[in-house]
């Protein structure tokens, strides 16, 4: 196997199993296409869309010149993320760029069945959605990735961001 490398966007890498053929192979995910792990740039683009949406919604409640606008944006972004991921499995930004949050702690057989469409995706759930958002708020867990490109907030909650198209 070739050396697994990342860009500056990938952040520091955790672990490096030599027997992994490609990103997501040990999770039962395909190498490319729908169901494969989302790239760092796609994740950033989805986050940007979510932040712009949260900023717009915040302006409905807090004036533009308010000292509390940043806090309002963070609060709205947090709520949108928790509600959308726990109900739909994706945030509006993730939907726009073609991603969804998937549980990968159920084993490779279940992940393969979900990706191929032979079984319904397991719900992320409210507890995992809250845990993901809390960890993302602290930013550092989102910047540290493992050999699959999954950030610490995904590893800690047993989830992964996968491509839907």
pTM above 0.85, yes or no: no
At 155, the pLDDT band (50, 70, 90 cuts) reads confident
Are 85 and 101 in contact, with CB atoms under 8 Å apart? yes
Task: State mean pLDDT over 118-141.
Answer: 82
Q: Is 73 helix (H, G, I), strand (E, B) or coil?
A: helix
- Residues 6 or more apart whose CB falls under 8 angstroms from that of 76 comprise 54, 57, 58
| Alpha carbon 62 to its chain's center | 28
> Which domain covers residue 149, as residue numbers?
37-163
Rounded distance between C-alpha atoms, residue 154 and residue 131, angstroms: 9
* Domains held by the chain: number: 1
66-98 pLDDT, tens digit each: 899 999 999 999 999 999 999 999 999 999 999
pLDDT per residue as tens digits for the range 12-57: 555 555 666 787 777 778 888 888 888 888 988 999 999 999 999 9
Q: Residue 151 domain-assigned?
A: yes
pLDDT band, very low/low/confident/very high, at 119 (cuts 50, 70, 90): low
User: What pLDDT is recorded for position 1?
Assistant: 43
Domain annotation covers residue 30: no
pLDDT for the residue 152: 84
The answer to whether position 86 is within a domain reads yes
Say whether 33 sits in a helix, a strand or coil: coil
In a domain, 127, yes or no: yes
Establish if 27 belongs to a structural domain: no
């Amino acid at each position: 196997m070739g050396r697994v490398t990342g860009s500056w966007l990938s952040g520091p890498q955790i672990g490096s199993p030599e027997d992994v053929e490609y990103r997501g192979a040990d999770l039962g995910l395909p190498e490319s296409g729908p169901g494969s792990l989302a790239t760092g740039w796609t994740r950033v683009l989805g986050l940007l869309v979510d932040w712009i949406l949260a900023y717009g919604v915040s302006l409905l409640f807090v004036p533009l010149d308010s000292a509390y606008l940043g806090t309002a944006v963070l609060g709205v972004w947090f709520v949108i993320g928790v509600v959308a991921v726990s109900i739909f499995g994706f945030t509006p930004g993730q939907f726009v760029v073609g991603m969804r949050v998937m549980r990968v702690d159920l084993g490779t057989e279940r992940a393969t069945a979900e990706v191929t469409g032979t079984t319904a995706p397991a719900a992320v759930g409210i507890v995992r959605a809250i845990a993901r958002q809390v960890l993302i708020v602290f930013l550092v867990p989102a910047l540290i990735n493992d050999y699959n490109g999954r950030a610490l907030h995904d590893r800690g909650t047993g989830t992964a961001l996968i491509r839907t198209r």
